[in-house]
Amino acid sequence: MSSLTEELYNTLLSLGADIVGFGNITELSAEVREGLPVGVSVAVKYPKDIIRGIAELPTADYFAWYKQLNEKLDAIVIEGASFLLEKGYRAVAQARERVGAGEKENFTLLPHKTIATRAGLGWIGKSALFVTKEYGSMIRLSSILTDAPLETAAPMNKSKCGYCQRCVKVCPAKAISGKLWNVGVSRDELLDADKCRAKARERSMQGFGGNATICGKCIEICPYTQRYLNKKEKI
């Protein structure tokens, strides 16, 4: 790892990131990446108890952490972009002010999970959520675009969900098609976003009386998430 890559990596971890990756994004159109060739992917994870708590319905605590992690990610990527700017490089923090909060928009030109796949951090699950080997899909993502000469990882181009159908079977909205993702598959082929959002709003009201569009069942049920939840912490 180059000194700049290592310095940025450690800086982002010190700011609270749980996973950091660097990807070559030049295969994407110059317009969506603002002509910048590198994407920095940042992930933070939910606490285990919060995800265990949404096995039946979303909770107020889950919604609070959803908002808290989004705020944390904004702070991390803004600080990370400032670090690169101070080094003399171009850098754009893809904070919510720039790309949206994800609660009203059904689509964004350059999703954080696209950058995360280019950085090799994981893949898109059948639920259309990003999945990591470490934490499953119990994470939130953000990203930075830059022209800094960072060392990039091999991209992830195919799903590792295999024949698993857990999220498909338990989806309360029946919104997941079950199709395996690869780089040529669109989100709409995986998920009916309108059905998902409508049911999530209904379940939010049932779970905690909240006017929100969160559900989380596909996060909680994912085998990779369950593996992390059942993993004993080191003393």
For position 8, what pLDDT does the model report? 98
Indicate if the pLDDT at residue 103 is higher than 50. no
pLDDT one-digit tens code per residue, 147-174 = 999 999 999 999 999 999 999 999 999 9
Position 109 confidence tier, pLDDT thresholds 50, 70, 90: confident
For position 114, what pLDDT does the model report? 96
CB 193 within 8 A of CB 187: yes
Predicted TM-score of the model (pTM): 0.93
For position 210, what pLDDT does the model report? 87
For position 13, what pLDDT does the model report? 98
Indicate if the pLDDT at residue 234 is higher than 70. no
CB 154 within 8 A of CB 21: no
pLDDT one-digit tens code per residue, 48-89 = 999 999 999 999 999 999 999 999 999 999 999 999 999 999
Position 104 confidence tier, pLDDT thresholds 50, 70, 90: very low
For position 106, what pLDDT does the model report? 46
125's tokens: 């699950």
Average of pLDDT values for 195-202? 97
The three-state DSSP-derived secondary structure of the chain is: CCHHHHHHHHHHHHCCCCEEEEEECCCCCCCCCCCCCEEEEEEEECCHHHHHCCCCCCCHHHHHHHHHHHHHHHHHHHHHHHHHHHCCCCEEECCHHHHCCCCCCCCCCCCHHHHHHHCCCCEECCCCCEEECCCECCEEEEEEEECCCCCCCCCCCECCCCCCCHHHHHCCCCCECCCCCECCCCHHHHECHHHHHHHHHHHHHHHHCCCCCCCCHHHHHCHHHHHHHCCCCCC
- Beta-carbon neighbour count of residue 141 at 10 Å? 26
Q: How far apart are alpha carbons 36 and 144 in whole angstroms?
A: 10
Average of pLDDT values for 129-155? 97
Position 235 confidence tier, pLDDT thresholds 50, 70, 90: low
CB 224 within 8 A of CB 133: yes
